[in-house]
Amino acid sequence: MSVSRELFDQVMVPNYAPSAVIPVRGQGSRVWDQQGREYVDFAGGIAVNCLGHCHPALVAALKEQGEKLWHLSNVMTNEPALRLAKKLVDATFAEKVYFANSGAEANEAALKLARRVAQDRFGAQKSQIIAFYKGFHGRTFFTVSVGGQAAYSDGFGPKPADIVHVDYNDLSALEAIISDNTCAVMMEPLQGEGGIVSPEAEFVKGVRALCDKHNALLIFDEVQTGVGRTGELYAYQGLGVTPDILTSAKALGGGFPIGAMLTTTALAEHLKVGTHGSTYGGNPLACAVAEAAFDTVNTKEVLDGVKQKAVLFRELLSAINDKYAVFSEIRGKGLLIGAVVTDAYKGKAKDFLTAAINENLMVLVAGADVIRFAPSLVIPEADIRDGMARFEKAVAAVVAANK
């Protein structure tokens, strides 16, 4: 069968508009397309491929588990799921883990748990969920409604009730709306889709204090920031604030679909047998690969390396900007980096993405005004320099086209 970009338009639901490039092979931070062209990958599958493509530890785990046991059901447990859960508990604040297939599913579980805890402890009136504008928590109807971007949730009929939004980093706005009827505040400890926006230290501490004051649970969506992306295993560990519930996905499986919700024993007790579930959650194949990814990332060498690579990334981006003056700010943490375009290029972040593809470089956007970089956590310095040389050519092309 001939496989081309045109086939997508024939057989796929048109909710995506993929590039004309169809990758067929990846190794480390390099990807090759159908025509054999080689790309440097600064996108990482949107912060998923934390160890690049076809990392030997993940390939070995997949092959080994693939010859043992693929799937059971949650009528039984399995060894890879229990090993991974134990490692997550040992490395974080959490005492209990729930496995799902994706970040959206993990967030759905977190929100349902928060609502159930509030109802059990305080009554049905304690149901309000507060989240933040420009936040992103997944595409199920519940999670997309909690996400603070109405464009993603409008047009599907009535939305789940008792969800309100305030501006990120605006503690006074949160203080004005939170009450004893608030069951949870959900936030990213660094907004990803919303433009790579870091939280102010006092803001995060203030959110925690307000949650404590009103007996509301603090949910950290670490789907994008988790598993080493910021240079900490989880971003909360660098903020001095501990959530009640944490969600993880994306990098957790290094490219294999898996999600997890982490919480305490006292809260977990409210999801009694039969209250929630996931057919593939805790799948042995997914958990075996995720365990290998977790073991590889959760080392001082890799986490320190993220911070070192981030310095180089920023230095090279700043050097490009010194030459072309296209960015007003370079923000983010670790290897989740956003370059904000100046007013002259407002709304044109995608032009830089398209120009990068033409230079055989894969990058991302975070909204219309931010170019996003989320490469492998173990990307070699040579690949960073090569990719940035390609990015400079892309920037030069955009600048020339806008003269």
Q: Residues at the annotated binding site for pyridoxal 5'-phosphate?
A: 103-104, 136, 221-224, 279
Q: Residues at the annotated binding site?
A: 103-104, 136, 139, 221-224, 278-279
Edge-first strand listing for the sheet containing 23-27: 23-27, 30-33, 38-41, 361-362
Domain 57-297, CATH class in plain words:
alpha beta
- Name the pLDDT band for 403 (thresholds 50, 70, 90): confident
Q: Convert 34-98 into a string of H (helix), E (strand) and C (coil).
A: CCCCEEEECCHHHHCCCCCECCHHHHHHHHHHHCCCCCCCCCCCCHHHHHHHHHHHHHCCCCEEE
Domain 5-56+300-401, CATH class in plain words:
alpha beta
| Per-residue pLDDT tens digits for 297-316 | 999 999 999 999 999 999 99
Q: How far apart are CA 310 and CA 83, in angstroms?
A: 31
Active site residues: 136, 221, 250
Where do the CATH 3.90.1150.10 domains begin and end in the chain? 5-56+300-401
| Per-residue pLDDT tens digits for 133-162 | 999 999 999 999 999 999 999 999 999 999
Helix (H) or strand (E) holding 310: helix 300-324
364-365 vs 370-373, strand pairing mode: antiparallel
Q: How far apart are CA 14 and CA 131, in angstroms?
A: 29
Where do the CATH 3.40.640.10 domains begin and end in the chain? 57-297
Q: Give the model's pLDDT for residue 1.
A: 85
| Per-residue pLDDT tens digits for 241-295 | 999 999 999 999 999 999 999 999 999 999 999 999 999 999 999 999 999 999 9
Q: What is the CA radius of gyration of the chain?
A: 21
Helix (H) or strand (E) holding 134: none
Q: Residues at the annotated binding site for N(2)-acetyl-L-ornithine?
A: 139, 278
pTM of the model: 0.96
Q: How far apart are CA 27 and CA 383, in angstroms?
A: 12
Q: How far apart are CA 128 and CA 394, in angstroms?
A: 46
Give the list of residues 6+ apart from residue 73 with CB closer than 8 angstroms, or none: 279
23-27 vs 30-33, strand pairing mode: antiparallel
Helix (H) or strand (E) holding 186: strand 182-187
In angstroms, the Cα distances linking 387 to 40, 290, 372 are: 6, 28, 14
| Per-residue pLDDT tens digits for 305-347 | 999 999 999 999 999 999 999 999 999 999 999 999 999 999 9
- Give me 114's structure tokens: 């928060």
Helix (H) or strand (E) holding 323: helix 300-324
Q: Give the model's pLDDT for residue 2.
A: 87
- Give me 357's structure tokens: 């593809």
Mean pLDDT computed over every residue of the chain: 97
- Give me 78's structure tokens: 């399995």
